[in-house]
Amino acid sequence: MARRGQQFFRNAVLTNFDFQCCVTGMNIASLLNASHIVPWRVDVRQRLNPANGLCLNAMLDRAFDRGLVGFDRTGALLVSRYIARQANPATQRYFYALAGQRILPAQKMSIDTSLLDWHRHEIFEQHLSD
C-alpha cells in the first residue's frame, strides 16, 4: 500500500527532472524512482517536499538509499569504497563510470543542498570505513 502523498511526491520529483534520471538521463518511466534524500521515516516535514527528492534510475535509487552513493556539495556523484572492495568488476564499472557526474538541473524546484549534505554525512559516510 502506497504511503499517503507518495504519488504526489513521485509526480512532483519526476516532473522536476523532466522524467529523466538526474544522473544518467535514463528516461524509461518504469525504471525511475522518486528517491527521498532524507528518508521518509526520518523527517515528517520533508516527506512530501519535492526539494527532498531526486529522480534516480532503480539501480542508483537503491544504492543511494543504502549509502553506496552520495553527492558532494556541487552535486557530483560520490561512490563508496564499499563498491571497490565488495562489488564484482561489472558493478564497479557501472558505478565508477558515473563517479563525478553532476545532478542534471531541476526544471521547477532546486534541490535543497543542505539535505544532500545531511545524506552524505548520515547515510553515505557510513560506508567509508567499509
- pLDDT on residue 97: 97
Residue 127 has pLDDT above 90, yes or no: no
Q: Distance (Å, rounded) from C-alpha 56 to C-alpha 110?
A: 15
pLDDT, tens digit (0-9, with 9 covering 90-100), for 21-44: 999 999 999 999 999 999 877 776
Per DSSP (E only), the strands in 19-75 are 32-36, 53-57, 69-71
Residue 1 has pLDDT above 50, yes or no: no
- pLDDT on residue 5: 63
Whole-model pTM: value is 0.89
